[in-house]
Amino acid sequence: MIIKYKPEDFYVREIFDIKKFEKKDEGRDFFYFILKKRNYNQIRALKKISRIFNVSVKRIHFAGTKDKIGVTEQVISINSIKENEIENKLNIINNKVKDLNLKYIGKYKGRINLGDLEGNYFEIVIRDLKNSDIKLCKKNIKDIKKDGLVNYFDKQRFGYANNSHIIGKLIIKGKIKEALIEIFTSLPENPSEDLKEFVLNFPEGLEDKNSLKFIIKNLPKNMREYQKVIEHLLKYTNDYSGAFRKLHKKLRTLYVNAYQSYLWNLTAKKLKEENVNLKEIELLGYNTNLENLLYKDIILDLLKKENLNLNDFKISHMPELSLKGSKRNFKIYPKELEILEIGKENLDNSESYFIKVKFILDSGAYATNVITSFFTKK
C-alpha cells in the first residue's frame, strides 16, 4: 500500500461555515484567506506569506495543521496588514511563489480558532494494491459505514520523528534538559545526511559553552528555529525552562498534547480489546474525575505503568502548558464515504491496482487512520 505517491494523491479541503466568522467580535480586523499549497510545509508557507505581507508570522492564525505532502486547502486569518495592499500581495504570491495560492474571502472582527471548522473533505488515492487488497477494502468500507472505527490519534500527532509524546512526558515530569536533548537528537525515518552527522556528534550535555557553540555552528538547516534555544543557554547557563520557552508556545503545547494523545490511544486500544463501546474517552488531565468511570481500573493501571498521577498534568514548573483534561469521541463515522475509482496501473514497472476514495471527517480525526482501517484484517 502506498499513499502520497504524488502530491495530487492526497487532497484535503477544510469545510467551514462563513457565518461563524461573521459573528466574531474581538474589536480588531482580521483578514481571511484560503491558502492552497502543494507539497509545501505549512510553517514554511506561513513564513513565506508573512515576509510578503511584511508581518510577523505570529499574526497569521489557522485552525488545523495540514500535511506537507499533498494538495491542501485551509483557512487562515491575518491581522495588522493594510487592506489596500492585499490585491498586490496576492498577485506576488499567486504569480511568483511556486505551489502556493492565496484567495481573499473577507474581513471579520476576530481570528480563526481551532473550533471554527466543520471538518475536512478528503480525496485520496491508494496505490500498489493487490486484488485481495481491493476486496478487503470494499468489505471494510461497508463495516466502517455501519460500525465506525476507533478515533485513534495517528502518527502525525507524534511528530516527524515519532517521539513528541516522549518529549511531552519529560516536560510533564520536569525533566526539561532531557526534553531538549531529545528534541535535538530526534531522527526521522529517513534522515538527511547532515542531520545524521549532527546527531552522531551531539555533545553529551548542554552545560559546556564550547559544546553549545558546536551545536549552533553545526545545526542542520531544518533546525535553525532552535538556535535561539542554545543562544539562551549560552547566556543563562542551566536555565533549561527559559531555553525551552524560546520555542513557539504552539510547539511547546504540541509536545504535552502528544503525550496526552498517546495515553488516549493506549486507553482506546485496551477498551477495543475488551469490546467496550463508549461514546467518549477521557483525554487525561488534572481535572479528570475517575469516580464512577466505567474504565477507571484501565486508567489507574496505565497511570501506574507510566509512573504518573493526574496532578502531574498541573505542570507547576511550566503552568502555561498544564492540561486540564477533556473528552474525545471513541469512534468516528466518516461521512460521504465512497469509492470513486478502481483501476490497474504499472507502478515502478510492476502491475498493481489503485483505488480512489472520498470522505468527510470532523476536525481532529485523521484520514490516515481511516485509510489504514481499509486494509486491516479483523
Q: How far is C-alpha 140 from the geometric centre of its chain's CA atoms?
A: 26
- The C-alpha atoms of residue 113 and residue 77 are separated, in whole angstroms, by 9
User: For cell 490585491, what's the residue?
Assistant: 87
Q: Is 208 a catalytic residue?
A: no
Catalytic residue among 67, 194, 297, 301: 67
Q: Is 15 helix (H, G, I), strand (E, B) or coil?
A: strand
Q: Is 347 exposed, middle or buried (0-12, 13-18, 19+ CB in 10 A)?
A: middle
Tell me the CA distances in angstroms from 197 to 167, 203, 214, 219, one per residue in order.
22, 12, 13, 10
Q: How many residues does the chain have?
A: 378
Answer whether 297's CB lies under 8 Å from 267's CB: no
Answer whether 231's CB lies under 8 Å from 216's CB: yes
Residues whose CB is less than 8 angstroms from the CB of residue 72 and which lie 6 or more positions away in sequence, other chains included: 11, 12, 13, 36, 37, 66
Residue 13's Cβ-side half-sphere holds a number of Cα atoms within 13 Å equal to 8
Residues whose CB is less than 8 angstroms from the CB of residue 309 and which lie 6 or more positions away in sequence, other chains included: 303
User: From start to end of the chain, where are the E strands?
Assistant: 2-3, 10-16, 30-38, 60-62, 71-78, 100-108, 117-129, 149-150, 280-283, 326-329, 331-332, 335-347, 350-361
Catalytic residues: 67
